[in-house]
Amino acid sequence: QKFVYSFTEGNKDLKDLLGGKGANLAEMTNLGLPVPPGFTITTEACKVFLETGTEPTSLHEEISAHLDALEQEMGKQLGQADNPLLVSVRSGAKFSMPGMMDTVLNIGLSDASVVGLVAQSGNERFAWDSYRRLVQMFGKTVLGVDGELFEEALDEAKHAKGTTSDLDLDAADLKQLVEVFKGIVERETGRAFPQDPREQMDLAIHAVFHSWNGDRARLYRRQERIPNDLGTAVNVCSMVFGNLGEDSGTGVAFTRDPSTGAQGVYGDYLSNAQGEDVVAGIRNTLPLSELEKLDKKSYDELMAIMQTLETHYRDLCDIEFTIERGKLWMLQTRVGKRTAAAAFRIAVQLVDQGLIDLDEALMRVTGGQLSQLMFPRFAPNAESKQIGRGLAASPGAAIGKIVFDSYTAVKWSRSGEKVILVRRETNPDDLDGMIAAEGILTSRGGKTSHAAVVARGMGKTCVCGAEELEVDTKRRRMTTADGLELEEGDVVSIDGATGKVYLGEVPVLPSAVVEYFEGTLHAGADVQGGLVQAVHRLMSHADGRRRLAVRANADNAEDGSRARRYGAQGIGLCRTEHMFLGEERRKEVEHLILADNDKDREAALSTLLPLQKGDFLELFQAMDGLPVTVRLLDPPLHEFLPDITELSVRVALAEARKDPNENDLRLLQAVHKLHEQNPMLGLRGVRLGLVIPGLFGMQVRAIAEAAAERKLAGADPRPEVMIPLVGTVQELELVRDECERVLAEVAQSTGVQLDIKLGTMIELPRAAVTAGQIAEAAEFFSFGTNDLTQTVWGFSRDDVEASFFTAYLEKGIFGVSPFETIDRDGVGALVKHAVQAGRATRPDLKLGVCGEHGGDPESVHFFHEVGLDYVSCSPFRIPVARLEAGRAAI
C-alpha cells in the first residue's frame, strides 16, 4: 500500500486519500502553477496511526524516499547546517476544517542550521524570527506546552524594547527570545527542544495525526456533520518565506466576494509576515487591491492565476499565497465557503458565464442555505444609533446581550439569553461560544479572519474588523469611537449584511426571499444584487426536475393559503384537534366524554357537526382543486378536559363550601378514568374512533357534507380521509365500514357523487411490517415518521431530547437527532419495506410522508430514493422541500 504521494502524483479528485489541501496542491502543481514542491502522507496512514498508535511499518521508508527526492530537487537537505531545506508540516482533511487542526512551519531549523539560514538569506533577523516561530509553534502544537507562556515571553521582550510590534524586535532580540523559548520547552516538557530535523518532522507528522482527534476538531465535525473516521492527510511542503522583508508577504484571496458573490478582488495582504499572521488578525491587514501598488508583477500574476483557478474549478475558489522577495507562491486553494446569498448568486452567474449548466447550479445550493435566506433582516430605522461599522462577514440580523468570552456565551445562552460574542479576534478556542451566540462581533481581522470563515461556515451572523470599537476583554467593556462605554449584558444589534453595529434592539423586516415567495415581491425585482432572481431561477429549475410532489401540513385556511403561495400542491396533513378546542366546542367535547347513553352522545356530536363542517368549507375553498388529507382525531381525550389538579382543587373547594357541583364531580371522575401513565401509547388515534361511537362518523360526515356543498357551488374540493395510529388491518376495516356508510348517506341526501379516498398513517412498527395487509383496506399511506421514530427507537420525543440526547450526540451514537433527520437504517428500513409491501398489494397506492422529516433536506433525498409520491411539511419549509426534491432528482 502506498502511503505517500508527491505533489506531482495527485489530483483534485483524490480528496479521500490526500485530503482537500493535498489534492488541490497536487492539482495546482499539475496546472503548472507555482507551488513549492512537497509530498502528502495519506489519510490511510493517519487511520492506521490512530488505530494502532504507531506508523504503518513502511511509512518511515517511504517518507525517506520522498524526502530524498525533494532534497535532490531543491538542492539542499532538511536542516543541513550550511544550507538548510525547511518544510512545513500541514494538516488537511477531506473536508476543510479551518484552523481546527495543526500546522507547523519552519521544520528543519536548529541551533546549527539557523546559522546556515542567516548565510543563505543574508538576513539575520529573518533567520532568528523563523527559528523563534518554530520553537513556539512546535512547543505549543507538538509538545503540548501552554501557548500563553510563549506569548507572555514575547510580550515581555516587546515591553523591554518599549514597543508593541514584533517588527521592532531585531536579530539580537529574537536570538535571545529563542533561548527563552527553548528554556520554556525544557522546563515544561523535561527535555530539550529537538535538534534533529528528521525527528522534528516525524514528531510534527504525529502531532498532525493526533490533531484529528483534538477537542476542537471533534466539536467542529459534530457541528458540520463530518464523519469521525476519515482521518487527516499530512502535507510536507518546502518553505517559502513571506517574512524576508518589505518585498515579501503573505495573503489570502477569494476569486469573488464570498459574502455577496459579486465579482472583483477580495482578500487581505500583510507584508513581511508568515502565514498564520494574516488569519490570526495580529496586525491589521491591507486589502488585496493595495498589493497592486506594492508589487504589480506579483499582483498581475495572482489575478491571472485566480482566473485560471476559477475557470478550472468552475467555482469560487479561495487561495492562500506568499510572496518571497517578489516571487509569488501558491500555498493552498479550495472551492471556497460562501454565504447562502452568495451561493445562489454565484451558481446563477456561472450558468450565465457558460461554465456550468442549471442542473449543476442546482447542486451548488442547498435547502439549508435557502432557509437561511428566509430569516429576517434589519429595518432601516432613523431611531437606531449606529455605534460602529465593520466588515459584512456573514449575513443575518442578530440581536443580543454582549459577552466577552466563550464561557459566558455558553453559560448565558443555556439560561435562555440571546448573546452576541464580542472579541478582538476569535481563535479556535472560541468555537463553543460562537455556536452558542446569535452573532459574532470582532474589532480586528478581515473577511478571511477566523471569525469570518467559521461564522460563514455555520451560517451565523458575523461582523468583523469593527476597528473603532475598543474591546477590552479583561475589563469586559467595549468602548465606541465617541467614548460610549458598553458593559457585558448591554444589548446591541449587528447587521451581517452591511457590517453595521447598533446600540439596543433594532426592528427587523422579513427577508426579500420570503416576500418573493409570498408574492409581494416581483420575481424580477432587483433587490440584494439579484438574489431574488437567482432564487427564482433555481426554484423553477428544481420544480421542473423533481418527481416528488410537495404538500403542506396545515390545519386551517390561512396556513393552507400561505402554503399554496409557497408552492404547496395540496395538504398532506390537516390535523383536526383544533376543531375540538375553544369555549363552546370544549363544552360539547365534555358532554361527549361524559355521555353514558346514545342520546346524549348524539346530541353532543350533532352540535359539533356544523362547526366542523364550517371549518372544512373554508379549508376546501382555500385549497380548491388540490388534495386535502384530513386526519381524524388523534390525541388522547384527556387533553380536552380540564387539568386534573385544577379540577381537584375546584371540587375540594366546592365541597368545603358544601356546594358540590354535579358536573365537576363527574368530570373529575372521567379525568381520573382517562388518566394514563403513558398517553402517547394509550387511548388515541384509531382507538378513539373505535371506542367512542359516532366520533369518526361525525368527522367524516362534516368532511363529506362540506365537500358536497362546495361541489354543488361548482368548486373542486378534493378531501382525503386519513386514519391515525393504525396497527392492524382489522382496525382499519372497521373504521372503513363506518366511513363508507356515512359517505353513502351523504351522497344520497345531497345527491352529489363523492370520490373521497380513505387511507391511513403508517406510524407504528406493526403497521409498517404488515403494510401488505393494511394496503387491502387503504388507498393511500402517509408515513408519520415522528411517531414511527418514537416507537421504533422507544424514545419519547418530549422527554429524551432534553435528557440524554446531548450525551448521545457527544458520544457519537448518532450524528444528528433521528427526529431531525430520518434514521435510514432503522426507521428508514421500515418505510422502505412498507412501500414495497403496500405497492405489492395495491400497485396504485399513493405514498407520502407527513412527519417533521418531510421538510428536512437529507430526509427528502431518502423519500425520493424509496419512491414516495410526495412529502408534506410545514408551510415555511415548503420552498426547502421543493429545492431538495429537485436536487434529489438530479
Active-site residues, by number, are 450, 850
Q: Nearest-CB residue to ligand ADP?
A: 275
Which one, of 474, 492, 256, 504, lies nearest residue 390 by Cα?
492
Of residues 331-350, those binding Mg ion (CB under 5 A)? 332
Amino acid at 565: R
Rounded Cα distance between 839 and 869, Å, is 12
- Which of helix, strand or coil describes residue 775? coil
446 binds ligand ADP, rule: CB under 6 A: no
Binding segment for ligand ADP among 87-95, 365-373, 421-429, 814-822 (CB under 6 A)? 87-95
* Helices (H), ranges, 190-229: 197-211, 215-224
* Contact residue for ligand ADP among 44, 276, 779, 801 (CB under 6 A): 276
* Helices (H), ranges, 426-519: 431-436, 450-458, 512-518
Quick check: 28 and 305 in contact, CB under 8 A? no
Taking the least distance from each CB to Mg ion, the nearer of 731 and 763 is 763
Taking the least distance from each CB to ligand ADP, the nearer of 205 and 331 is 331
Residue 855: partners with Cβ closer than 8 Å, 6 or more residues away: 871, 873, 874, 877, 878, 880, 881
Taking the least distance from each CB to ligand ADP, the nearer of 277 and 884 is 277
Cell of 835: 412501500
Total residues at the site for ligand ADP (CB under 6 A)? 18
Phi, psi of 758 (to 5 degrees): -120, 125
Rounded Cα distance between 11 and 30, Å, is 8
Binding segment for ligand ADP among 86-94, 132-140, 153-161, 460-468 (CB under 6 A)? 86-94
332 binds ligand ADP, rule: CB under 6 A: yes
* Contact residue for ligand ADP among 99, 261, 636, 784 (CB under 6 A): 99
248 binds Mg ion, rule: CB under 5 A: no
Taking the least distance from each CB to ligand ADP, the nearer of 91 and 493 is 91
Cα of 230 vs its chain's centroid, Å: 20
Quick check: 556 and 618 in contact, CB under 8 A? yes
Q: How far is the CB of 35 from ligand ADP (least distance, A)?
A: 9
Taking the least distance from each CB to Mg ion, the nearer of 267 and 784 is 784
Cα of 189 vs its chain's centroid, Å: 40
Q: How far is the CB of 244 from ligand ADP (least distance, A)?
A: 11
- Which of helix, strand or coil describes residue 137? helix
Cell of 108: 528543519
Cα radius of gyration rounded to whole Å, the chain:
33
* Contact residue for ligand ADP among 10, 20, 36, 249 (CB under 6 A): 36
Cell of 612: 366542523
Taking the alpha carbons at both ends of the chain, their separation in whole angstroms is 36
Taking the least distance from each CB to ligand ADP, the nearer of 116 and 249 is 249
90 binds ligand ADP, rule: CB under 6 A: yes
Taking the least distance from each CB to ligand ADP, the nearer of 70 and 834 is 70
Q: How far is the CB of 123 from ligand ADP (least distance, A)?
A: 16
With vertex at residue 614, the alpha carbon angle to CA 609 and CA 617, rounded to the nearest 5 degrees, is 125
Cell of 374: 428566509
- Which of helix, strand or coil describes residue 784? coil
784 binds, among Mg ion, ligand ADP, none (CB under 5 to 8 A by kind): Mg ion
Quick check: 231 and 97 in contact, CB under 8 A? no
* Contact residue for ligand ADP among 88, 298, 528, 569 (CB under 6 A): 88
Residue 514 neighbours by CB distance under 10 Å: 18
Dihedral (CA of 407, 412, 416, 422) sign: negative
Taking the least distance from each CB to ligand ADP, the nearer of 130 and 782 is 130
Of residues 763-782, those binding Mg ion (CB under 5 A)? 763
Amino acid at 113: S
Cell of 633: 382525531
237 binds ligand ADP, rule: CB under 6 A: yes
* Contact residue for ligand ADP among 124, 257, 315, 320 (CB under 6 A): 320
Which one, of 135, 146, 142, 144, lies nearest residue 206 by Cα?
142
Phi, psi of 243 (to 5 degrees): -105, 30
91 binds Mg ion, rule: CB under 5 A: no
Which one, of 201, 271, 278, lies nearest residue 242 by Cα?
271
* Contact residue for Mg ion among 784, 818, 838, 875 (CB under 5 A): 784
Taking the least distance from each CB to ligand ADP, the nearer of 278 and 702 is 278
576 binds Mg ion, rule: CB under 5 A: no
Taking the least distance from each CB to Mg ion, the nearer of 27 and 787 is 787
* Contact residue for ligand ADP among 105, 399, 579, 788 (CB under 6 A): 105
* Contact residue for Mg ion among 129, 787, 852, 884 (CB under 5 A): 787
- Which of helix, strand or coil describes residue 634? coil
216 binds, among Mg ion, ligand ADP, none (CB under 5 to 8 A by kind): none
Q: How far is the CB of 262 from ligand ADP (least distance, A)?
A: 24
* Contact residue for ligand ADP among 137, 239, 440, 847 (CB under 6 A): 239
* Contact residue for ligand ADP among 288, 331, 619, 878 (CB under 6 A): 331
User: In this structure, are strands 718-723 and 757-762 parallel, antiparallel, or unpaired?
Assistant: parallel
275 binds, among Mg ion, ligand ADP, none (CB under 5 to 8 A by kind): ligand ADP
Binding segment for ligand ADP among 235-243, 656-664, 678-686, 767-775 (CB under 6 A)? 235-243
Q: Bridge-partner residues for 508, per DSSP?
A: 378
Q: Which residues bind Mg ion (CB under 5 A)?
A: 320, 332, 763, 784, 787
Q: Which residues bind ligand ADP (CB under 6 A)?
A: 36, 88, 90-91, 99, 103, 105, 237-240, 250, 275-276, 320, 322, 331-332
